[in-house]
Amino acid sequence: MITFVEKVRLAYRKMIEEGYDKEYAKAVVSYLALVISRMSDFESVLGAWHPQWEFSTHAFVRQALQMTWDYSELNPFSPILTGTWESMHRQILRVIEDVSKVNYIPAIIAQSSATSLPYPDNYFDAVITDPPYYDNVAYSYLSDFFYVWLKRAIGDLHPDLFATPLTPKSEEIVAYSHGKGGREEGKRFYEEMITRSFKEIYRVLKPNGIAIIVFAYKSTDAWETIINSLLKSGLVLTASWPIHTEMKERLIAQGSAALASSVYMGCRKRVTEKVGYFNEIKIEIEKRVKEKLEQFWSQGISGADFFVSAIGPAVEVFGRYSKVERLSGEEVSVKELLEYVRKVVSEFALERVLKRVDLGGVDAQTRFYLLWRWTFGNAKVHFDDAIKLSRSLGVELTELWDKGGFVRKEKEFVRVLPPQERAKDQAFIKKTKFTSMIDVLHYALMLWEKGERERIKEILHETGYAGNETFWQAAQAISEILPEGNKEKQLIQGFLYGKEDYMKEYRKEKTRTLFDFMGKA
């Protein structure tokens, strides 16, 4: 790598000696440095061998430096392998060729802080930004991987861009939790800085201009911060739409509740300063949210994306007012708004998943289980987000872990257990009293896998669920939510094959009991 850096620097010197224009030579050598930068991603001990396709992977297969147990070493002079000088050189040339075809109007590129833009007031027709997603990616720290090689190759040609030993970090708008003050200080810093940047957007935007802000993060803390910052800046959300932007197969999505969609928010300057009353605008918020949810549902938006997609429509109503108060005069926070939205979305989603408007026959724990599986699947979720979902359904999460419950807390994360995992818990196996529909279903699935059909019949008859259509609808709904090949789905499908027999037996027994009673009378 150092040899390649040396040759790139020599190329610049040679071009100058041969009389090339300095700016032209600088541009050519800058592109050559990008070839080295791309190579550094592959010429690393973090690149493993991909046996199926027979090539060496690169360090950044995800937005983090992963731990690898073995690595492959490339021949940097190979003309065919990906990641070598020649292949990366071809890639850079392709990009230059492609972008030069489409951009007939020259772009003006400026490097500056988002909190202090070098433009006058009311200057732009539109501002489009995709800000950092809270604490999701450590951009500057990851940039150092490439920065050190670029600085070696062309640092002297771009002294303004490479003035510091590593990338600047003190004013980066990311909610880092590793500094002084931890998570709370990181959150405070992010909100303060993102608010300042949104205020700058407000300042440079023309009175009738539009700002597009892209955000994709499942954490309600992050959304609370973004919405607070928007409202403080004077920008009003006028439209929002979820757009699928992420690859389902990306590594970061495996085992996590990562979003597949980014929410595009269209904002304009607030032109009036008026106070709204929450008891009045709640009806309008619910109407607007449900109207948009109908559209999102028909478009196939689901799971965590569905919840996040509902935030925009709610803020469209909420943000029309400079302040929203209760009748008592107390200001309503964005946190309260999001809690209300979560409740509206939960009820809407459950009605669609269960295919019934009346949810009265479904207990709170079963609703929570259904909604969790629909939203997060088998992924583990941060405790804060898990508890917010449970509270929107009136469930106390702490009562569901241990003692044979279907929730497990793993450090700061929460998982909802499928029946096959609960079957390993002695407290669940020895259960004699059932307080929820989901407990009965899981117990029946455990017995079904063991082949204990008579015991299933006893449990269903004792609880009365054998003849309860809502119980069978809930089981069917969970089965439809789960992906193909899922073990729980297979258990439910097998169990449902016996539905008619269980119901027939139950009706026969009820009829016999009724005749016995009449005979005694």
**DSSP assignment of 281-320, as one string?**
HHHHHHHHHHHHHHHHHHTT--HHHHHHHTHHHHHHHHTT
Same structural domain, 497 and 417: yes
215, 200: one domain? yes
Helix residue spans in 65-160 (DSSP H): 85-102, 139-154
Instruction: Note the pTM of the prediction, 2 decimals.
Output: 0.77
132: left (phi over 0), alpha (psi -120 to 50) or beta: beta
User: Is residue 269 classed as helix, strand or coil in its secondary structure?
Assistant: strand
The domain boundary residue, chosen from 316, 336, 354: 354
Name the domain count of the chain: 3
Q: In this structure, are 412 and 272 located in the same domain?
A: no
Confirm whether 413 is domain-assigned. Answer: yes
- Structure-token match 């979902």, residue found: 389
Q: How far apart are CA 501 and CA 498, in angstroms?
A: 5
DSSP letter assigned to residue 108:
P
Residue 122 in any domain: the answer is yes
Assess if residue 6 is contained within a domain.
yes
Are residues 93 and 183 both part of a single domain? no
3-state class of 278 per DSSP?
helix
Q: Is 44 in contact with 58 (CB distance < 8 Å)?
A: yes
516: Cβ–Cβ under 8 A, 6 or more apart, which residues? none
**Which residue range is the domain that position 4 belongs to?**
1-109+144-157
Which amino acid would we find at residue 199? K
Residues 6+ apart with CB under 8 A from 400: 365, 390, 406, 407
**How far, in Å, are 392, 400, 432, 515 from residue 409 at the CA level?**
19, 10, 24, 50
Per-residue pLDDT of the chain (521 residues), as tens digits, is 999 999 999 999 999 999 999 999 999 999 999 999 999 999 888 988 888 878 888 888 888 888 888 888 888 888 878 889 999 999 999 999 988 887 677 788 888 899 999 999 999 999 999 988 788 888 899 999 999 999 999 999 999 999 999 999 988 988 888 878 888 888 889 889 999 999 999 999 999 999 999 887 767 778 888 888 988 999 988 888 888 765 554 434 444 445 557 888 999 998 888 898 998 899 999 999 999 999 888 888 877 788 888 888 999 899 888 889 988 889 998 888 988 888 898 889 898 888 876 777 889 999 999 999 988 888 888 888 888 888 888 888 888 887 788 999 888 889 999 999 999 988 888 887 888 999 999 999 999 999 998 899 989 988 989 888 899 999 999 999 998 999 999 999 999 998 888 888 877 776 655 445 445 55
Instruction: Tell me how far CA of residue 213 lies from CA of 235, 264, 287, 311, 358, in angstroms.
Output: 11, 6, 24, 14, 38
Q: Looking at the structure, tell me whether residues 453 and 403 fall in a common domain.
A: yes
Please report whether residue 169 resides in a domain.
no
Q: What is the pLDDT of residue 515?
A: 46
Q: How far apart are CA 260 and CA 301, in angstroms?
A: 9
Query: What does the pLDDT read at residue 252?
Result: 41
Cβ atoms of 223 and 256 within 8 Å: the answer is: no
Q: Is residue 168 part of a domain?
A: no
Give residue 250's pLDDT. 42
Is there a contact between 460 and 444 (Cβ–Cβ < 8 Å)?
yes
Measured from the Cβ of residue 44, the count of other Cβ atoms closer than 10 Å reads: 21
- The pLDDT assigned to 517 comes to 46
Residues 327, 189 share a domain: yes
Same domain assignment for residues 513 and 401 = yes
Q: Does residue 163 sit within a domain?
A: no
For residues 362 and 509, state if they share a domain.
Answer: yes
Q: What per-residue confidence (pLDDT) applies to 251?
A: 36
**Residue carrying structure tokens 């190759």:** 153
